[in-house]
């Protein structure tokens, strides 16, 4: 069932009209890297708020319970129209990851558009 939702999300995301665009759909974090950058661009004309976080894919976990070996900086950013922003993924406690296989984590980025004029 989970795979059906992922597939539907991929199909519908291609037809979406987002203002904030992420430069990559997958990020590989090399084991010897200090950090990895992910580029965002606001292709819209208005200022948007962008919130980002990393999780382990467990949708039942609340934000307080998410334990991942990465930190994002900045987790919340205000982006004016036409601007770009870099989000830095920094590894912490990477020794806790298994070194005989890959680990998968989810980078979540939410674009929060401005409230229309006259709406309170």
How much is the pTM? 0.77
- 68 is a domain residue: yes
Q: What is the pLDDT of residue 64?
A: 86
- C-alpha 84/C-alpha 59 separation (Å) is 29
Convert the pLDDT of each residue in 57-72 to its tens digit: 998 988 888 999 999 9
For residues 25 and 14, give the distance between their C-alpha atoms in angstroms, rounded to a whole number.
Answer: 12
Enumerate residue ranges in the chain where pLDDT < 70. 1-17, 119-120
Total tally of structural domains belonging to the chain: 1
| Residue in 70, 106, 108, 109 with CA at minimum distance from that of residue 90 | 70
Range of the domain at 101: 19-112
Inside any domain, residue 4: no
Q: Is residue 47 part of a domain?
A: yes
What pLDDT score does 10 carry?
58
Ramachandran class of 70: left when φ > 0, alpha when ψ lies in -120 to 50, beta otherwise: beta
Closest among 118, 119, 92 to 105, alpha carbons compared: 92
Question: CATH no. for residue 57?
Answer: 2.60.40.10
Query: Is 2 contained in some domain?
Result: no
Q: What is the per-residue pLDDT for 7?
A: 57
């Amino acid at each position: 069932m989970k795979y059906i939702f992922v597939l539907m999300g991929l199909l519908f995301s291609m037809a979406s009209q987002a203002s904030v665009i992420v430069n990559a759909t997958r990020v590989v974090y090399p084991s010897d890297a200090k950090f990895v950058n992910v580029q965002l661009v606001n292709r819209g004309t208005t200022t948007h708020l962008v919130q980002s976080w990393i999780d382990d894919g467990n949708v039942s976990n609340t934000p307080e319970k998410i334990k991942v070996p990465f930190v994002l900086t900045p987790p919340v950013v205000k982006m004016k129209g036409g601007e770009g922003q870099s989000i830095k993924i920094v590894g912490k406690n990477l020794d806790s990851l298994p070194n005989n296989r890959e680990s998968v984590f989810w980078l979540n980025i939410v674009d929060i558009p401005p409230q229309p004029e006259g709406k309170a």
